[in-house]
Amino acid sequence: MQSLIKNIGCTNLLSEMKKVLITGASGFIGSFMVEEALKRNYEVYAGIRIGSSTIYLADPRIKFIELNFADVEILRLQLSEFPYFDYVIHSAGLTKGFNKKDYFTSNYQYTKNFIDVLIDQKRVPEKFIYMSSLAAFGPGDPILLNAVKLSDTPKPVTSYGKSKLKSENYLTSLLNFPYLIIRPTAVYGPREKELLTIFKLINSNLELLVGFKKQQLTFVYVSDLVEAVFQAMESNLTNRGYFVSDGHVYDGKMLGNIIRKHLEKRTIRIQIPTILVRLIAVVTEATKYITRKQPMLNLEKIKELEASNWNCDIQPLRDDLDFKPAYDLERGIQETIAWYKKARWLK
Ligand SMILES: NC(=O)c1ccc[n+]([C@@H]2O[C@H](COP(=O)([O-])OP(=O)(O)OC[C@H]3O[C@@H](n4cnc5c(N)ncnc54)[C@H](OP(=O)(O)O)[C@@H]3O)[C@@H](O)[C@H]2O)c1
């Protein structure tokens, strides 16, 4: 009898729990979203695809849902087997495409397919969080170096950014679809593999700087981004976008300086002219036809690397959600290095 009461209690508790579907759950940011959702007592559905790694999704409370955004009919069937999701965090996205078209297919068309099926199946969630990017607005003015603001006209410089903007425009064109668009700047922290390359180079006593222009960079530590997303999701706010950074602006050398300091390394600093980096990118990009993989240094990446101003205005996030990032770059890098070392990603 006792255990029956206990079970009924559990069942009631479960039915009261809000359900959140997190797509891209196997990715760097998605896996942290899943952890936070569990901490906040959501019933968590991790959206993955065939072949996705579940290494960071080991918690037995996680329910998995395989989603094929490419095929609307299959997607319909896949979703129909699951209950209504109160919230959806759409973090699945392509950050390194093989060619330009790939970005539009994965970031725009698949997002559109997903949204259309949700609408068609009358599964419109209380809120749909779209993980866009500062890249959707593009860099700010290279001379004035002022922060990119929500009121600015987006001017993405990469296919990645353009594909994110196209999805944003689709979302904003919808009627009766409660969304929030989150536009993080560069996100870093444990499990992150892109910036890891810079850590590795510095660990081998080498520091590479692109071009000679003054640069303004911004960053956000992954747990601060996750906090912002959940605050936004649980708020009454809908149908608007936010930039997310740690609120500081760093010059082009600061990232390297902080990494070097915490790795306790001396480095040879090589400043490479942009034209040479572009030439190298042409060569490395050509290798993709052999490796079938987009190299880290590619022509799209160069456009991001050579932009002078990645400053963005997070005042709206502060005003609306009292967003107070806990990590500046110094603290975040320290924790990231500690994690990389523990995971043996850095020696
Ligand atoms: N990291 C940043 O600095 C940053 C900054 C701004 C915005 N964002 C955005 O944040 C989101 C997450 O980025 P991340 O850094 O976590 O990247 P990530 O580690 O590469 O994760 C991407 C996730 O999306 C999934 N995905 C990619 N293409 C897919 C497809 N066609 N169908 C289904 N799932 C697909 C991946 O699944 P698999 O594991 O199966 O590949 C993975 O789970 C992305 O939308 C990205 O554009 C990232």
Arithmetic mean of pLDDT, 193-212: 93
pLDDT band at 16 (very low <50, low <70, confident <90, very high): confident
Quote the ligand 1 centre to 93 CA distance (angstroms): 4
d(CA 29, CA 91) in angstroms, rounded, equals: 7
Strand arrangement, sheet containing 43-48: 63-66, 43-48, 19-23, 87-90, 127-131, 179-184, 240-244
Distance from C-alpha of 322 to C-alpha of 247, rounded to nearest angstrom: 13
Arithmetic mean of pLDDT, 114-131: 98
User: What digits encode the pLDDT tens for the residues 204-226?
Assistant: 999 988 888 889 999 999 999 99
Binding site membership of 75 for ligand 1 (Cβ less than 6 Å):
no
Mutate to test the pocket of ligand 1, among 34, 49, 244 (most ligand atoms within 8 A of CB): 49
Average pLDDT over residues 312-341: 98
Q: With pLDDT > 70 as the criterion, what percentage of the chain qualifies? A: 96
How many other C-beta atoms are found inside a 10 Å radius of the C-beta of residue 269? 13
Answer whether 232 contacts ligand 1 (Cβ < 6 A).
no
Lowest-confidence segment of 6-15, 87-96, 97-106, 148-157 by average pLDDT: 6-15
Ligand 1 neighbourhood includes 133 CB (under 6 angstroms): yes
HEC readout, the chain? CHHHHHHHHHHHHHHHCCEEEEECCCCHHHHHHHHHHHHCCCEEEEEECCCCCCCCCCCCCCEEEECCCCCHHHHHHHHHCCCCCCEEEECCCCCCCCCHHHHHHHHHHHHHHHHHHHHHCCCCCCEEEEECCHHHCCCCCCCCCCCECCCCCCCCCCHHHHHHHHHHHHHHHCCCCCEEEEEECEEECCCCCCCHHHHHHHHCCEEEEECCCCCEECEEEHHHHHHHHHHHHHCCCCCEEEEECCCCCEECCHHHHHHHHHHCCCCEEEEECHHHHHHHHHHHHHCHHHHCCCCCCCHHHHHHHHCCECCECCHHHHHHHCCCCCCCHHHHHHHHHHHHHHCCCCC
Q: Is the pLDDT of residue 9 over 70?
A: no
CA of 22 to the centre of ligand 1 (A): 11
Q: What is the mean pLDDT of residues 60-86?
A: 98
If you average pLDDT over every residue of the chain, what do you get?
93
Verify whether ligand 1 is closer than 6 Å to residue 46 (CB atom).
Answer: no
Ligand 1 within 6 A of 69 CB? yes
Does the beta carbon of 218 sit less than 6 angstroms from any atom of ligand 1?
no
Residue-wise pLDDT for 127-182, tens only, equals: 999 999 999 999 999 999 999 999 999 999 999 999 999 999 999 999 999 999 99
For residue 92, the ligand 1 atom closest to its alpha carbon is 24
For a ligand 1 pocket test, name from 131, 191, 193, 242 the mutation site with the most ligand atoms within 8 angstroms of its C-beta. 131
CA-nearest of 250, 303, 295 to 274 is 303
Is pLDDT at 98 greater than 90 in this prediction?
no
**What is the average per-residue pLDDT within 104-130?**
98
- Half-sphere exposure for 17 (CA within 13 Å, toward CB): 20
Banded pLDDT at 15 (limits 50, 70, 90): low
What's the pLDDT score for residue 60?
98
Contacts of residue 178, defined as CB under 8 A and 6 or more positions apart, other chains included, come to 124, 125, 126, 127, 128, 238, 239
Question: Which of 9, 317, 300 lies closest to 164 in space, CA to CA?
Answer: 300
Q: Examine the pLDDT at 6 and tell me if it is beyond 70.
A: no
Q: Is the CB of 138 under 6 A from ligand 1?
A: no
Q: Whose CA is nearest to atom 1 of ligand 1?
A: 187
93 lines ligand 1 (CB under 6 A): yes
Q: Which residues of 29-52 are buried (b: 16+ CB within 10 A; e: fewer)?
A: bbbbbbbbbeeeebbbbbbbeeeb
Q: What percent of the chain has pLDDT over 90?
A: 81
- Expressed in angstroms and rounded, the spacing between residue 204 Cα and the centre of ligand 1 is 28
Residue closest via CA to ligand 1's atom 2 equals: 187
Instruction: Determine the pLDDT at residue 262.
Output: 98
Ligand 1: residue of 22, 23, 26 to mutate (most ligand atoms within 8 A of CB) is 26
310 Cβ partners below 8 Å, 6+ apart? 134, 139, 140, 185, 186, 215, 216, 217, 218
Domains annotated for the chain, with CATH where assigned, are 2-187+220-245+311-326 (3.40.50.720)
pLDDT confidence bin for 12, thresholds 50/70/90: low
Query: What is the rounded average pLDDT of the residues 181-206?
Result: 97
For every residue of 179-232, which 3-state class applies, written as one string? EEEEEECEEECCCCCCCHHHHHHHHCCEEEEECCCCCEECEEEHHHHHHHHHHH
Say which residue, 163 or 286, is predicted with more confidence: 163
> From ligand 1's centre to the CA of 94, what distance in Å?
5
pLDDT at 58 over 70: yes
Mean pLDDT confidence for 245-262? 96
pLDDT of residue 8: 46
Average pLDDT over residues 306-318: 96
Point out the least confidently predicted range of 5-19, 135-149, 165-179, 296-310: 5-19
- Average pLDDT of the residues in 6-23: 71
